[in-house]
Structure 1
Amino acid sequence: MRTVNIRVSGRVQGVGFRYLTKLAADEKQITGSVKNEENGDVTIVAQGPESTIAFFIQTVKSSPSPMGKVKKMVVHELPNEPHYTSFEVLY
């Protein structure tokens, strides 16, 4: 099990980025959350098997939204606690 915090910058707000990130996470059975930040970034916490998380990170880097554009992405490892049970869009 791997848990990561992903901070994404670019055209990632107002383009369906959070919703499509949730769909991608649900499809891969990744748990965690996604939320907009006041500075225009998006923060994602993702938890799942190592290989699935690696694929999810690539999906986010490519932008799950056709209208989005990721200019910068920073990934930090997190301890595996708590165990998330679903993937949620936070407001």
Structure 2
Amino acid sequence: MLLRLVIFLVIIGLAEYYSYIVVRSALRTLPPNGRKAFMILYVLLSICTWVGMLMFRQINWAGIPHMVRNLYVAFTIGFLIGKVIILV
């Protein structure tokens, strides 16, 4: 069980690293201020996604409209799977 956790964390860590490199490379042609703003937005979005995944059970789903919940879940899963696909 511990080995599975370690393998999962390594894969997720590599996915985060490579997706950061891809975003940084894609933003290379932008002016410095735009590049910095988009990188800050990307890092904050990544942090919010991971915090959301870790705090998933503590969210009060009854108080959130269904559409917002569906968008949140779809975006979070899509964002994380997109990072893993970048790794592959």
How does the TM-score come out when normalised to structure 2?
0.28
Higher strand proportion: 1
Higher helix proportion: 2
How does the TM-score come out when normalised to structure 1?
0.27
